[in-house]
């Protein structure tokens, strides 16, 4: 009996293609696989680190980075707008300063020659005198205590052709109001042309008794002026 009944291996061991890779080739394959796995693991760890830091591992700016950039741009725009306001304000101040300088350069003579301002009270009095008639100015002596302005109105509104002086006619108005009988024809005709006058035939004493205190004071003041 033979120990080996198989035929001896007739393969050529010098030709590796006949029996596959040897131990060295297997070791290289394992080493390459380990290196590739290590590279992949390192790349994965780097990618995880970039993602945690908010950065894109492919070089593009992440969303958080864009937000920060926009915020900076907005801040810059705000600073530009603020600086623009300052510029506009400075321009206004410069304009005001130039106006002030121009006003200071104006000659003082023109200010001195300016028409004096009329106070509202004076303007009102002048307007009242212009629209007032002589009869209205004299009737004031009956209604209330007269002032210097009322006396000026009596003079300024007196028409030409009066039978007496303006002051004496103002006195006559008070007497005519109480129905005094004027003895002078011109004065009597003058008052007869007024709608309110009624000749009651009263004497001076009767009229003096009928006048109130204000009318008496007005007549006294007018008598002193005539």
Does residue 106 sit within a domain? no
The pTM of the full predicted model, rounded to 2 decimals, is 0.46
Q: How many domains does the chain have?
A: 3
Same domain? 91 vs 182 = no
| Of the ranges 57-66, 69-78, 110-119, 160-169, the best mean pLDDT one | 160-169
More confident residue, 219 or 93: 219
Same domain? 130 vs 221 = yes
Residue 73: pLDDT above 80?
no
Long-range pairs for 128-132 at CB < 8 Å and ≥24 separation?
Answer: 128/153, 129/153, 129/156, 129/157, 132/157
Same domain? 128 vs 198 = yes
Does residue 140 sit within a domain? yes
Does residue 4 sit within a domain? no
In this structure, is the dihedral angle defined by the CA atoms of residues 23, 24, 29 and 34, taken in order, positive or negative?
A: positive
Q: Are 41 and 34 in contact (CB under 8 A)?
A: no
Distance between CA atoms of residues 66 and 63, nearest Å: 5
Same domain? 81 vs 125 = no
Same domain? 221 vs 127 = yes
Does residue 9 sit within a domain? no
| Helices and strands: H and E segment counts in the chain | 10, 0
Same domain? 158 vs 217 = yes
Distance between CA atoms of residues 32 and 71, nearest Å: 48
* 57-61, 85-89, 159-163: the lowest-pLDDT one: 85-89
CATH number at residue 161: 1.20.58
Does residue 112 sit within a domain? no
Same domain? 73 vs 133 = no
The SS3 of residue 154 is helix
Backbone angles phi, psi at 17, to 5 degrees: -65, -15
Same domain? 131 vs 193 = yes
Determine the longest span between alpha carbons in the chain, in angstroms: 198
Long-range pairs for 162-169 at CB < 8 Å and ≥24 separation?
Answer: 162/190, 163/187, 163/190, 165/226, 166/134, 167/222, 167/225, 167/226, 168/226, 169/134, 169/138
Range of the domain at 83: 63-100
Same domain? 221 vs 134 = yes
- What is the CB neighbour count within 10 angstroms for residue 120? 7
Residue 159: pLDDT above 60?
yes
Same domain? 70 vs 160 = no
| 212 CB-contact burial (10 Å; exposed 0-12 / middle 13-18 / buried 19+) | exposed
Per-residue DSSP letter, 168: H
Residue 79: pLDDT above 80?
no
Does residue 105 sit within a domain? no
DSSP string, 140-159: HHHHS---HHHHHHHHHHPP
**Partner residues linked to 92 by β-bridges:** none
pLDDT tens for residues 80-118?
A: 444 444 444 444 444 554 445 545 555 455 444 554 555
More confident residue, 60 or 35: 35
Share the mean pLDDT of the chain.
73
Same domain? 88 vs 144 = no
Does residue 57 sit within a domain? no
Q: Are 180 and 207 in contact (CB under 8 A)?
A: yes
Does residue 116 sit within a domain? no
- Helix ranges restricted to H, 106-147: 108-112, 120-131, 134-143
Same domain? 86 vs 141 = no
Distance between CA atoms of residues 21 and 50, nearest Å: 42
């Amino acid at each position: 009996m033979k120990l080996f009944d198989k035929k001896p291996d007739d393969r050529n061991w010098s030709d590796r293609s006949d029996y596959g890779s040897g131990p060295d080739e297997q070791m290289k394959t394992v080493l390459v696989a380990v290196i590739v796995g290590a590279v992949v693991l390192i790349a994965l760890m780097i990618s995880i680190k970039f993602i945690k830091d908010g950065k894109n591992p492919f070089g593009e700016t992440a969303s958080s980075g864009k937000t920060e950039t926009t915020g900076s741009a907005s801040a810059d725009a705000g600073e530009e707008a603020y600086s623009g306001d300052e510029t506009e304000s400075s321009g206004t101040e410069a304009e005001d300063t130039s106006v002030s300088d121009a006003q200071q350069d104006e000659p003082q003579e023109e200010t001195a020659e300016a028409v004096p301002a009329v106070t509202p009270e004076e303007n009102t009095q002048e307007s009242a005198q212009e629209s007032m008639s002589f009869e209205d100015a004299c009737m004031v002596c009956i209604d209330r205590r007269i002032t210097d302005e009322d006396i000026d109105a009596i003079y300024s509104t007196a028409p030409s052709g009066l039978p007496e002086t303006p002051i004496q006619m103002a006195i006559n108005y008070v007497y005519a109001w109480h129905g005094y009988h004027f003895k002078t024809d011109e004065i009597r005709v003058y008052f007869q042309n007024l709608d309110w006058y009624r000749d009651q035939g009263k004497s001076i004493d009767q009229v003096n008794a009928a006048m109130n205190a204000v009318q008496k004071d007005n007549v006294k003041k007018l008598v002193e002026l005539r």
